[in-house]
Amino acid sequence: MNKIEGVIFDWAGTTVDFGCFAPVNVFIDIFKKAGIDVTMEEARAPMGLLKIDHIRAMLSMPRVSALWEEKFGRSFNEQDVENLYAEFEPALLASLTEYTDPIPEVIETVETLRKQGLKIGSTTGYTNTMMDVVVPNALKKGYSPDYYITADDTNSFGRPYPYMIYRNMEALSLSASCKVVKVGDTPSDIKEGVNAGVWAVGVIIGSSEMGLSLDEFHALSESDQEKAILQTENSFRQNGADFTIRSMSELPKLIEKINQHISVGKRPNAR
């Protein structure tokens, strides 16, 4: 059958944790403890990467790197990355339960997709230990994919490498990349989809890329909401997204549209 067989979702900022706040706050805290004040924007920029890669990416930012040299009299090294990560993991695990609420429209959308016969996979920047907290708590609240995997199971090759997507395809018996949709909320999610040759879709409202809580988003004027949506959409497009959706309820209709593209022979690599 020449149509989409499965959808692979990200977790935080896509299906749970509106705005993806669990890791961001911890990144800011661990750098502060090391005597480096990072901004919310700097903490969010590498979002979606494996968390140790995220710390490495933050330390490589010119401003953060310069602050590190100023404080310690040398460039950061791999031991510094590992030391910061050793602070990060227990701090995140301590608060992670609080950030497992499904994002509005996710449970209903997943139910609709399943009724249409689609498999539901997932990839994440979290580790297996972190997912041991997230998965059962999300399940209690009504969200559970058919399969999930972390970079712990792909030799630590997380996003933007495509391997977690390929493992989903294998586990869920999805027959071809062109019959798979990847939905995420960060540039690294989009790049993961592009590198896997699947249809890459960015979800805007509730995304880490937008970086607003539910209350903050609703507090904006309509014109400011539109501005934030457009800015996030542009970022996804610049990183190679095939499509964007404002919220998850738009996904089933988008999949119908993608099925039409497939039927006339368009493939994701025809970007």
Would you call 200 helix, strand, or coil by DSSP? strand
- DSSP for 36-56? ----HHHHHTTTTS-HHHHHH
β-pair partners for 199:
181
80 known member of a binding site: no
152 is in an annotated binding site: no
53 in a labelled binding site: no
Helical segments of the chain, H only: 22-33, 40-44, 51-59, 62-72, 78-95, 106-115, 128-140, 163-171, 187-196, 214-219, 222-238, 251-263
Q: Which 8-state DSSP code applies to residue 162?
A: S
Q: Please enumerate in sequence order all residues whose Cβ is within 8 A of that of 174, keeping only pairs 6 or more positions apart, or say none.
A: 5, 6, 119, 121, 168, 180
Choose, from 10, 17, 53, 189, the residue flagged as catalytic: 10
Q: Which of 17, 51, 53, 191 is catalytic?
A: 51
Cα atoms in the Cβ-side hemisphere of radius 13 Å centred on 80: 19
| CA gap 136, 120 in Å, rounded | 16
Distances from the Cα of 190 to the Cα of 186, 202, 244, angstroms: 7, 7, 10
Which pair of structure tokens corresponds to residue 239? 């990183």
Three-state SS annotation for 113-127: HHHCCCEEEEECCCC
Residue 51 annotated among the catalytic residues of the structure = yes
**Residue 115 bears catalytic tag:** no
Catalytic residues: 10, 51
Residues annotated within the binding site for Mg(2+) are 10, 12, 185
Residues annotated within the binding site are 10, 12, 185
